[in-house]
Amino acid sequence: MYKKILVPLDGSSLSEAALSHAGVLAKALGAQVLLLRVVVFPDQDLGDIPIEYAASNEVLAEMKRYLEHTATELRRAGVTVTSFAISGRVADTILDFAEHHQVDLIVMSTHGRAAALRWLMGSIADKVVHSAHVPVLIIRENKKSHANIVH
């Protein structure tokens, strides 16, 4: 059913909560996990992304190292993992990446904010859920979702 599972990461422990869920699914289904870190450069149209999150080429290289380090636990569990660090507007880049790489499922975490706050802040997860052409599994923030369940 699912052969390619996309997990967008932003370097936070919240986004990493999706890893264990994606890992369990991938292991059970024999699927590949694609880790994606979207980097925003200062000269790009930032849209709703604050400038302090904009990145340089050095940061892009650091993100690639972060992704490879993050992939280690999944690989130890026997999951095939490929990682990508690319630049662009976050939600649009996740959606374009999923389509281009023929992803079957997107697994990502969210704070689970109330609708009014989400509207005010502009949720990446909300944009992905409403625009993706594939199923999206949203992992809500809680202490249990941070547990390592890949064995």
Summarize pLDDT for 33-91 with one digit per residue, the tens.
999 999 876 555 555 554 545 556 677 788 889 999 999 989 999 999 999 998 888 99
pLDDT value at residue 60: 75
The identity of residue 137, as a single letter, is L
Domain range annotation of the chain:
4-146
- CATH class of the domain whose range is 4-146: alpha beta
Task: Say which residue, 131 or 56, is predicted with more confidence.
Answer: 131
Q: Answer yes or no: are the C-beta atoms of 151 and 77 closer than 8 Å.
A: yes
Q: What is the pTM of this model?
A: 0.80
Q: Answer yes or no: are the C-beta atoms of 140 and 39 closer than 8 Å.
A: no
Rounded to whole angstroms, the Cα distance separating 131 from 133 reads 7
